[in-house]
Amino acid sequence: MDDSHQLQEIRARIDALDEQLQCLINERAELARQTAQIKQAAGLGENCFRPEREAEILRRVIARNQGPLSGQEMARLFREIMSACLALETPLVIAYLGPEGTFTEAAALKHFGHSVKTQPLMAIDEVFREVEAGTAYYGVVPVENSTEGAVTHTLDRFLVSPLQICGEVELRIHHHLLSRNQTIAEVNRLYAHQQTLAQCREWLDAHLAGCERIPVSSNGEAARRAGDESDCAAIASDRAREIYGLHALATNIEDEPGNTTRFLVIGSQAVVASGNDKTSLLVSGPNRSGLLYDLLSPLAEYGISMTRLESRPSRRQLWEYVFFIDVEGHIDDSNLTTALATLKERASFLKLLGSYPRAVI
């Protein structure tokens, strides 16, 4: 049956708009290329990625959006346009905790868009090393989960690394039970990252009580094994299911429906203020009564909101701790600069891990 006249008319208007959009996107790409030439001529380095500028653009897209597409959806489209524009300037290499199909890969692509070159590595430590060596411009590593708390490997690595935090990514985590088999009854062994096993504990106790649970380095690795071996399953993402050709025996098996993981973008670049930023610090002092109070009170005094506090063994002295603190604001904000000067006088060790834009998408 022929398409109606009305349908043809609407499609003609869509075609005309697509043509305009395509011209406008290319015009934008040409301008982005010019910004790269200016930055390079001014000796601002070969890395043209500007986290603060991207965050400002994405926030503006969301603020002015009128629908029917949602602000987040529109921001994701602009995220990809900027990613393609940047790829014309510098092909960014992003190292992440792999293998392919991990949530860290999804976080890296959410933050940088799909026009970057991703480099999967098998351990958090390797991601830090690759960025420290300059082989990758940035790295993406998990830092905390809303159900299970801190990723201690990442925190501990900041004690010795010269890298800065250049950004954060938040990702809703959905876990699926994946296998080559068609039924749960055929599954005798289960692979997943230790944190994932913990995030699905109640579901596993109810549905796979007798099954051996084997922690592995990542959910991507778990899915890879489930693709190679019979009578086993993995807990991993939908992307891992696609990559390793597995069946979903059960979907969304995480115990907490709001399960979210926060990732950090690490690099060697100090990021300029974007207008809505966070700053991360590492601080410690000799154990004494009131130490933590003394370290935190300058923040309260200067009206700085703390979004996170985590303690870890200092690894220098028994029962001495370092505190990882996230606050709102940028290090160039005068109240934060003053508060940190006071804090520094009271601490034996203070390291600024970086100021960076709050996650936008």
Ligand X SMILES: O=C(O)C(=O)C[C@]1(C(=O)O)C=C[C@@H](O)C=C1
**Separation between Cα atoms, residue 328 and residue 351, nearest integer Å:** 17
Give the contacts of 14 (CB within 8 A, at least 6 positions apart). none
Structure tokens at 320: 């001495």
The active-site residue out of 103, 128, 158, 263 is 263
- The least CB distance from residue 94 to ligand X, in Å, is 13
Residues of this chain, 48-67, that bind ligand X according to CB under 6 A: 48-50, 53-54, 57
- The least CB distance from residue 33 to ligand X, in Å, is 9
Sign of CA dihedral 148, 150, 152, 153: positive
CB 169 within 8 A of CB 124: no
Q: Which is nearer to ligand X, 90 or 119 (CB)?
A: 90
Q: Which is nearer to ligand X, 57 or 248 (CB)?
A: 57
Q: Does 35 bind ligand X (CB under 6 A)?
A: yes
- The least CB distance from residue 311 to ligand X, in Å, is 35
Of positions 32, 141, 190, 283, contacts ligand X by CB under 6 A: 32
CB 125 within 8 A of CB 114: no
DSSP state of 273: P
**Separation between Cα atoms, residue 150 and residue 143, nearest integer Å:** 6
CB closest to ligand X, residue no? 85
Cα separations in angstroms, 314 against 6, 210, 322, 344: 70, 39, 5, 17
| b (16+ CB within 10 A) / e for 189-223 | bbbbbebbbbbbeebbeeebeebeeeebbbbbbbb
Of positions 55, 74, 75, 82, contacts ligand X by CB under 6 A: 82
263 labelled catalytic: yes
- The least CB distance from residue 136 to ligand X, in Å, is 16
Q: Which is nearer to ligand X, 83 or 179 (CB)?
A: 83
The active-site residue out of 158, 261, 279, 323 is 261
261 labelled catalytic: yes
Of positions 63, 77, 85, 245, contacts ligand X by CB under 6 A: 85
Q: Which residues are catalytic?
A: 261, 263
Residues that bind ligand X (CB under 6 A): 32, 35-36, 48-50, 53-54, 57, 82, 85-86
